[in-house]
Structure 1
Amino acid sequence: MSESPWWRGAVIYQIYPRSFLDASGDGVGDLPGIIDRLDYVASLGVDAIWISPFFKSPMADFGYDIADYRQVDPLFGSLEDFDRLLAKAHSLGIRVMIDQVLSHTSAEHEWFRQSRLSRDNPRADWYVWADPAQDGTAPNNWMSLFGGVAWQWEPRREQYYLHNFLTSQPDLNFHNPEVQAAVLDNVEFWLARGVDGLRLDAINFCFHDPQLRDNPPKPKEMRTGRGFSPDNPYAYQYHWYNNTRPENIPFLEDLRALLDRYPGTAALGEISSEDSLATTAEYTSGQRLHMGYSFELLVDDFSVDYIRGTVSRLEAAMTEGWPCWAVSNHDVQRAVSRWGGQDPSPALAKMLVAMVCSLRGSVCLYQGEELGLPEAEVPFEALQDPYGITFWPNFKGRDGCRTPMPWTGAADAGFSAAAPWLPVPEAHRALAVERQEADPDSVLNAFRAFMRWRRTQPALVQGSIAFLATGEPVLAFVREHAGQRLLAAFNLSAAPATLALPEGAWTVLDGHGLGAPAVAGGQATLPAYGVLFAAAG
């Protein structure tokens, strides 16, 4: 396994810096707070961290609206703090990946400040500008993912600019070679500083159709969005022209060529398109991205048929690339609540981590997943997310998965000496790190045990995958690598379930912290949310 690139089969722990630990006492997490808890992260047994944006920003979208790609926002600390973070992480054997938001900037970025002034300034063509229709309306029917039309009027130019996300997040014009060069130059700033990889936000949104053709309507029965509210008008269209354009491929190859000049670095693309699995396969083939992930397992459907079908479709399409899987992140409801209801079982939390870490590919795990944190209920008056405020009450936004990490059971959860930017629910304080470390049966201790064990199983880290034709509720597959053949099975239900073992001799494995189910007569009985690992031979 040591001969393979570090990112193949890696477990990547996502840190949302606003909510990890506040070292400055202003109620918002920061880079020194991450530094303070890197020993904890190392104790989890993960291979890398992915840090969500910490760059200079007005924070309209909490850092995904960047005003300066090369500066740390004072809210989070300084460049020197980042250098200290990088050095400590590396001393602990942890790789560091950072978010790069390339398709758009903040409206406060100096590039856009210049671009919006006139049609003939040096950066006039650095963003997507278009003349109005004859009646003064928007140039076409493109919609913003955050609600409403994707065009905003700029009186100084008497033109509209494109924003696929918030109005304050104008889209860069990647058809301009100068823009591509400037973007890659910003990326290289961080590669030269020593980061190990990039998580590329909305990477399929870099290019738009230069003809500005209308997106075709989507039939009502097809309006099932992944990663956005189902009542969002964004779901009313096939997004053929405002993203995932063919011109993006050469840019990805240029980006890969840049990373190749920094050996050992890797790029993970976030992909949300009309067929995200096909796009992921396309974007990771050849000399493009190292890995790709989409929202396919960040949905409400929690069934054997869906998970097996989703992974199998990507396996069939991805003949060259490498997948990355996630069941939680900072944009969606936490998995234990999404799939386990209002009072999710700790056994579910343990099983979900084991399941996603047993699929072929790399894995992104979101902070708090190791504690089994449920979705927080954030009252309307405490909401911060503009997405949730817009679509309340049908969709409550992303704040419920972004509340601060509970380090202790105290009123402040050990997060900050000040009032936190989002409230910490009592249910989270009961699941605090301090409390779980003292409980040998906790989700946290099971997480650590499983991660230690997984490192010793080559088939789980790098092996092929072949699914068994099981019915609900048991998902089962065989991973195989370098002579090791491993059966993995997961009971997705809150009731016991049985699994007929494949033909041959199987030895039930323990030591992974998840227990060993009873096996008799070629049949395993898995308890509620139970897990089985068995070795052939």
Structure 2
Amino acid sequence: MTMSENNPNRPWWRGATIYQIYPRSFMDSNGDGIGDLPGITSRLDYVASLGVDAIWVSPFFLSPMKDFGYDVADFRAVDPIFGALDDFDAMVARAHALGLRVLIDQVMSHTSDQHAWFVESRSSRDNPKADWFVWADAKPDGSPPSNWQSVFGGPAWTWDARRQQYYLHNFLASQPQLNCHNREVQDAMLANLEFWLERGVDGFRLDAVNFAMHDPALTDNPPAPDTGKPRTRPFDFQLRIHNQSHPDIPAYIERIRELTDRYGERPGTIFTVAEVGGDDSEAEMRAFTADDRRFNSTYGFNFLYAERLTADLVCRALTEWPDEPGTNWPSWAFENHDAPRALSRWADDEHREAFAAMKMALLACMRGNPILYNGEELGLTQVDIPFDQLQDPEAIANWPLTLSRDGVRTPLPWTAEGGFTSGTPWLPYGEENLARSVAAQDAANASLLHHTRAMLALRNAHPALHHGSVDWCRAEGALLSFGRSADGESVECHFNLSVAPVALSGLDGDAEILCALNGANPSEIPPYGALIVRP
């Protein structure tokens, strides 16, 4: 029985653990080397065995795959490499039969240049969709309308000879920017969401929402101050205040919420979690989730690109979102399809096993929705992809300074030989990761896979960990401690985020130990140990 079933007034997603599936790399059913929807369906029993509540499936829509599905050519069609709509329906049915909710990505700010909307929009300046994308005349000298830069490098404007105008693209030139100021565009995007709601999805992860609207005056962005960090792209040289984050975006979000509230068991049960990155992400996260009229949660970047996991970093993240009415319910991830594997950033080889176990315990104890990226439960590390095998357009364009996203997108190793496909995988497994296969870890009781199941079971068994408040948080050097409570239960969580033991004092001698990890005890926590107690 899930926590939401224990309390029908609490939406299912509040405290839920979500498992992100990157379809290209999860399971291939037909031997072409690329994962697909039937492959996902065939492995959902494994996902359910982890103790998660939902899956988030990254884009599987019709696409030329210039950005591997985030360049959508048809929001309502499954790309043939992933299967067909019937395969999607079968996946949803199987997930629901196993008690798993289904979330899917929705790309809200742009399309592929092969989308029918853009094909029509670029055909003339007076067609019905002429204003569905962001078009602008050249400056008198022929240069782009503003100085805005693309995330992937170079100007955010590309000249189109058919219209004799520039079009905006915050990402690849093949990803033209939707003009979401246009009410017709909003209506069309809402209709796309409704298409998938009618097919039974339980929520959406909404991509790049803060890029959905721009400053119509096309004001130049000011230069960004030099912080001393390497700047690998022209995008890093600007304060991006005019090409994104327009103040009208929250009103658009309210329209999305009005739609999703018409579905699910009752209003608020269709889960919406927005990706929000950038220099002013905290303010936008609050605005995008305000007053229970907008999104349910936002997907923070606090940990995704952090070079180190520190007690102070975790405390800041937890205390930014207090348990107060109208305040954002957070969602946390330590890694995803865009961010490098956490173990490769945060742990050395000697301590990697202990660190991985502590990291999983920490994620399970944090207030919010933990999001596990496929393979994280196995302790997969970042794979070094040679330049001649790179697929990631950002890595190719900015080689060698940008860390390749391909290294975190490698196929899931189901067996020691791979087991992902009967053909040649689209990316290499990585020899180190083959030793961490599902089969090997299923057979070893002390594995990270079994530990992940145990940590999620612990979270689900204790209201304080599942959906409780954070009552206090302390960062004392490498010692991270916080208290959580809900439904009359209180739990204390202590983590050592260093390679040296730390002393622990002040614990009630009668405290019930719920988890003592890596040799932790009430007086001392060894390197990367954890102690979770109920006073």
Q: TM-score, normalised by structure 1?
A: 0.95
Whether the 8 Å CA contact 2:469–2:486 is kept in 1: the answer is yes
1:19 aligns with 2:25: yes
1:78 aligns with 2:81: no
**1:75 Cα deviation after fit:** 0.2
AA paired with 1:371?
L
Superposed structure 1 runs of 4+ greater than 6 Å apart: none
Q: Of 458, 461, 482, which aligns to 1:456? A: 461
SS state of the match for residue 323, structure 1? strand
- Aligned 1:262-301 pairs, distance under 5 A: 262-263=263-264, 264-286=269-291, 287-298=293-304, 299-301=306-308
1:517 aligns with 2:515: no
Could you tell me which runs of 5 or more consecutive residues in structure 2 were left unpaired when the two chains were aligned: none
Partners of 2:516 and 2:202 lie apart in 1 by 30
Deviates more, 1:40-49 or 1:299-308: 299-308
- Residue of structure 2 equivalent to 1:399: 406
**1:357 Cα deviation after fit:** 2.2
- Residue of structure 1 equivalent to 2:164: 158
Partners of 2:258 and 2:126 lie apart in 1 by 33
Deviates more, 1:294-303 or 1:47-56: 294-303
Partners of 2:82 and 2:504 lie apart in 1 by 49
**1:314 Cα deviation after fit:** 3.8
AA paired with 1:482?
D
Whether the 8 Å CA contact 1:116–1:156 is kept in 2: the answer is yes
- Residue of structure 1 equivalent to 2:448: 443
- Residue of structure 1 equivalent to 2:243: 242
- Residue of structure 2 equivalent to 1:28: 34
Q: Of 313, 316, 320, which aligns to 1:313? A: 320
- Residue of structure 1 equivalent to 2:361: 354
Q: Of 190, 194, 201, which aligns to 1:188? A: 194
Whether the 8 Å CA contact 2:354–2:518 is kept in 1: the answer is no
Partners of 2:324 and 2:225 lie apart in 1 by 26
**1:505 Cα deviation after fit:** 5.2
- Residue of structure 2 equivalent to 1:528: 527
Q: Of 425, 431, 444, which aligns to 2:430? A: 425
SS state of the match for residue 518, structure 1? coil
AA paired with 2:132?
W
**1:6 Cα deviation after fit:** 0.7
Q: Of 492, 507, 513, which aligns to 2:511? A: 507
User: Per the alignment, do residues 51 and 261 of structure 1 end up closer, same or farther by CA in structure 2, a change over 3 Å counting?
Assistant: same
Q: Of 408, 421, 425, which aligns to 2:415? A: 408
**1:376 Cα deviation after fit:** 0.8
User: Per the alignment, do residues 90 and 391 of structure 1 end up closer, same or farther by CA in structure 2, a change over 3 Å counting?
Assistant: same
Partners of 1:72 and 1:470 lie apart in 2 by 47
**1:443 Cα deviation after fit:** 0.4
User: Per the alignment, do residues 120 and 509 of structure 1 end up closer, same or farther by CA in structure 2, a change over 3 Å counting?
Assistant: same
**1:12 Cα deviation after fit:** 0.3
**1:508 Cα deviation after fit:** 4.0
Partners of 1:134 and 1:315 lie apart in 2 by 51
- Residue of structure 2 equivalent to 1:334: 341
**1:316 Cα deviation after fit:** 8.9
- Residue of structure 2 equivalent to 1:378: 385
Whether the 8 Å CA contact 1:304–1:471 is kept in 2: the answer is yes
- Residue of structure 2 equivalent to 1:205: 211
Query: Could you list the per-position Cα deviations for residues 442-461 of structure 1 after superposition, in whole angstroms to 9, with x for gaps in the alignment?
Result: 10010111111211110011
Partners of 1:294 and 1:213 lie apart in 2 by 28
- Residue of structure 2 equivalent to 1:255: 256
**1:306 Cα deviation after fit:** 2.1
Partners of 1:321 and 1:310 lie apart in 2 by 12
How many residue pairs match? The answer is 523
SS state of the match for residue 504, structure 2? strand
AA paired with 1:184?
L
Deviates more, 1:176-185 or 1:306-315: 306-315
Identity %: 49
Could you tell me which runs of 5 or more consecutive residues in structure 1 were left unpaired when the two chains were aligned: none
- Residue of structure 2 equivalent to 1:68: 74
**1:354 Cα deviation after fit:** 1.5
Whether the 8 Å CA contact 1:270–1:294 is kept in 2: the answer is yes
Whether the 8 Å CA contact 2:343–2:381 is kept in 1: the answer is yes
**1:267 Cα deviation after fit:** 0.5
Whether the 8 Å CA contact 1:240–1:274 is kept in 2: the answer is no
Query: Could you list the per-position Cα deviations for residues 400-429 of structure 1 after superposition, in whole angstroms to 9, with x for gaps in the alignment?
Result: 00000000001xx00111110001111011
SS state of the match for residue 469, structure 1? strand
**1:238 Cα deviation after fit:** 1.1
AA paired with 2:513?
L
Q: TM-score, normalised by structure 2?
A: 0.95
SS state of the match for residue 305, structure 1? helix
Whether the 8 Å CA contact 2:516–2:531 is kept in 1: the answer is no
Partners of 1:506 and 1:258 lie apart in 2 by 51
User: Per the alignment, do residues 179 and 470 of structure 1 end up closer, same or farther by CA in structure 2, a change over 3 Å counting?
Assistant: closer
Whether the 8 Å CA contact 1:102–1:183 is kept in 2: the answer is yes
Partners of 2:416 and 2:311 lie apart in 1 by 36
RMSD (Å), alpha carbons: 1.6
